[in-house]
């Protein structure tokens, strides 16, 4: 079956490079700035609620995250949040948009090992400009046969991407750290779904692993991917 595999899609954030850790650092700063108004745990709960409410309007990424922090700050202060706090939240967001790329271990090696044999795609969601910046800084750009920056990752979206860039989802694989966005919808589309967990994963990306599915696999790190693909053959 894997003899038919022609196309491999990679998620970007927390699969090829670090991402969530920068959100966590900013959340800690957010909690610090609003410590006079609410305890950290309550703040995190309110922020997550706001993100859940807003993701359908703002999409995924730093800009939406900053707007949700500001909205939460207004709520928890009963509309008395000091302008200096808003300014600091905006500054924290801008700092996130400038953070340097930190590649995950084995990311480059895994892609290099597969790039000659398979069509390699980058499939990511988030702010367009930010994802383009990170891809450029990663130094991985030339290794990809196609790049798709999408508003959300759904089964029909994967079906369309693998049809456009490859030979359809049946002959494709998606590799990523999010069960909800990378693995499950890719499997639903008919592709392989390979889960590479990251120790920090955003609440809204959690889902149960489809361990019983024949096209599901889980790896400790990307260095194991070439062997997995060889075994499938
Ligand atoms: Mg990810």
| CATH number for the domain whose boundaries are 20-98 | 1.10.150.240
Annotated domain spans of the chain: 7-18+102-232, 20-98
Ligand 1 centroid – CA 20 distance (Å): 8
Ligand 1 centroid – CA 3 distance (Å): 27
Ligand 1 centroid – CA 221 distance (Å): 13
Ligand 1 centroid – CA 194 distance (Å): 12
Ligand 1 centroid – CA 176 distance (Å): 6
Ligand 1 centroid – CA 5 distance (Å): 22
N residues, the chain: 233
Tokens of 154: 């759904």
Assess whether the region 7-18+102-232 and the region 20-98 belong to the same CATH fold.
no
CA distance 76 to 53: 16
What is the reported pLDDT for 211? 94
Ligand 1 centroid – CA 11 distance (Å): 6
Ligand 1 centroid – CA 82 distance (Å): 34
Ligand 1 centroid – CA 34 distance (Å): 28
- Give the SS3 label for residue 13: strand
- The residues, ordered by sequence, that sit 6+ positions from 172 with a Cβ below 8 Å of its Cβ are 5, 6, 7, 8, 9, 158, 162, 166, 186, 191, 192
E runs forming strands in the chain: 7-10, 119-125, 146-150, 172-176, 192-195, 216-218
CA distance 111 to 205: 24
What is the reported pLDDT for 205? 84
| CATH number for the domain whose boundaries are 7-18+102-232 | 3.40.50.1000
Classify each residue of 113-150 as buried b or exposed e, where b means 16 or more C-beta atoms within 10 Å of its C-beta. Answer: bbbeebbbbbbbbbbeebbeebbeebebeeebeeebbb
Ligand 1 centroid – CA 2 distance (Å): 24
What is the reported pLDDT for 204? 83
Tens place of pLDDT per residue across the chain (233 aa): 444 899 999 999 999 999 999 999 999 999 999 999 999 999 999 999 999 999 999 999 999 999 999 999 999 999 999 999 999 999 999 999 999 999 998 999 999 999 999 999 999 998 999 999 999 999 999 999 999 999 999 999 999 999 999 999 999 999 999 999 999 999 999 999 999 999 888 888 888 999 999 999 999 999 999 999 999 87
CA distance 229 to 116: 14
- Give the SS3 label for residue 215: coil
CA distance 124 to 126: 7
CA distance 122 to 120: 7
Ligand 1 centroid – CA 120 distance (Å): 17
Cα angle for residues 212, 215, 206 (degrees, 5° grid): 65
- Give the SS3 label for residue 64: helix
Ligand 1 centroid – CA 123 distance (Å): 10
Contact status, residue 173 vs residue 194, Cβ threshold 8 Å:
yes
Ligand 1 centroid – CA 17 distance (Å): 9
DSSP code per residue over 116-176: TTSEEEEEEES-HHHHHHHHHHHT-GGG-SEEEEES---HHHHHHHHHHHSS-GGGEEEEE
Its pTM stands at: 0.93
């Amino acid at each position: 079956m894997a003899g038919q595999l022609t196309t491999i899609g990679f998620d970007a954030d927390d699969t090829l490079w670090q991402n969530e850790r920068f959100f966590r650092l900013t959340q800690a700063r957010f909690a610090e700035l609003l410590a006079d108004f609410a305890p950290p745990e309550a703040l995190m709960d309110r922020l997550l609620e706001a993100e859940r409410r807003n993701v359908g309007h703002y999409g995924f990424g730093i800009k939406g995250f900053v707007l949700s922090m500001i909205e939460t700050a207004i709520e928890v202060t009963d509309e008395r949040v000091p302008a200096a706090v808003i300014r600091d939240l905006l500054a924290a967001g801008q700092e996130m948009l400038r953070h340097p790329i930190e590649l995950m271990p084995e990311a480059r090696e895994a892609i290099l090992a597969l790039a000659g044999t398979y069509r390699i795609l980058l499939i990511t969601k988030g702010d367009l400009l930010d994802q383009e910046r990170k891809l450029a800084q990663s130094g991985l750009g030339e290794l990809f046969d196609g790049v798709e920056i999408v508003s959300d990752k759904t089964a029909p979206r994967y079906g369309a991407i693998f049809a456009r860039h490859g030979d359809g989802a049946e002959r494709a694989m998606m590799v990523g750290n999010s069960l909800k966005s990378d693995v499950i919808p890719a499997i639903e589309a008919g592709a392989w779904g390979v889960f590479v967990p990251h120790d920090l994963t955003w609440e809204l990306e959690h889902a149960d692993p489809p361990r019983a599915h024949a096209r599901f696999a889980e790896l400790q790190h990307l260095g194991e991917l070439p062997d997995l693909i060889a075994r499938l053959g």
